[in-house]
Structure 1
Amino acid sequence: MTRMSLEEALARTPDIDRAKVEAATDEEILRHAREDGGDPNAAEGWLRIPLPREVRAALNLTQEEFAATIRVPVSTIRNWEQGRTSPEPAARTLLALIAADPAHALKLLGGRSSGRQGRPRRFA
């Protein structure tokens, strides 16, 4: 990581080849989606991954409460919501499951903001 002034940061051009992005065919886009672990055209198995902020807002939780509920540092929630980082695949799946059935997911996670950090329970 390097330090730079605001002017330097604004002067940087992104390393995105816009012509290549615009020239991508539907088939290439679908191939990339499959490579990233999903197929939006599949009859089943495709989960819409909601934005972390959407999930948290729907649950009416603060960042701190949401972080404790899903057992991640609050800085992780902040980074997701501010676009600094993206959730890893397992976290994206957890967000999709919470969004699909919030009451059941919260019950399984131990309540609104239990924050329990103990050992995970074993499944029979």
Structure 2
Amino acid sequence: MNKKNITRVKATAAERFNDADWAAFDTLSDEEVVAQAKNDPDAQPSSAAELQQFQRAVNVKTIRKQLAMTQEEFAHAFQLSLATLRDWEQARTQPDQAARTLLKIIAHNPDLVREALSQYPLAD
């Protein structure tokens, strides 16, 4: 395959929804919207088993903002990679289990985490 003949196009969110008839949608009642959604095979509700497997996402940006810290300050204070923090906040990647646990502890008691990490400073 000759890669010179391949055109890659990345649709924006707005472009993906341009074919929707929003005027017709706006005329529907809430009950009609729910009924149509239930009839859509691609939009079926999750089963109880599927819901059990869901994990609540840790909102890193909210935690950081509650601490009134910049991304740089937060990353430095909690010994995190700035690039990783940015990826989490922009939902490019998700924190793994260990990182989610650390973030929950930071949200609950940031001073304790700072104190603990001060015992093990990063090498510059």
Q: How would you bin the TM-score normalised by the shorter chain?
A: 0.5 to 0.7
Q: 1:22 aligns with which of 2, 22, 44?
A: 44
Please say if 1:105 is aligned against 2:107.
no
The aligned residue for residue 85 of structure 2 is: 77
Note the residue ranges of structure 1 that are not aligned, 5 or more in a row.
37-47, 119-124
Counterpart CA distance in 1 for 2:59 and 2:91 is 10
Please say which structure displays the higher CA radius of gyration: 2
TM, length-normalised to structure 2: 0.59
SS in 1 for 2:74: helix
The aligned residue for residue 11 of structure 2 is: 9
SS in 2 for 1:80: helix
1:54-112 deviations in whole A, cap 9, x for unaligned?
1111111111111112222211111111111111111110000111112222222229x
Counterpart CA distance in 2 for 1:26 and 1:108 is 40
Counterpart contact for 2:64–2:74, Cα < 8 Å: yes
Report the residue type matching 1:9 in the other structure.
Answer: A
> How far 1:21 moved relative to its partner?
5.8
* Deviation >6 Å, runs of 4+: none
Counterpart contact for 1:50–1:99, Cα < 8 Å: no
Question: Which has the larger helix fraction?
Answer: 2
How high is the sequence identity, in percent, across the aligned residues? 33
Counterpart contact for 1:69–1:110, Cα < 8 Å: no
Counterpart CA distance in 2 for 1:91 and 1:66 is 14
Q: 1:65 to 1:117 in 2, by over 3 A?
A: same
> How far 1:49 moved relative to its partner?
5.4
Please say if 1:56 is aligned against 2:64.
yes
Please say if 1:95 is aligned against 2:109.
no
TM, length-normalised to structure 1: 0.59
Please say if 1:66 is aligned against 2:78.
no
Q: 1:117 aligns with which of 88, 104, 122?
A: 122
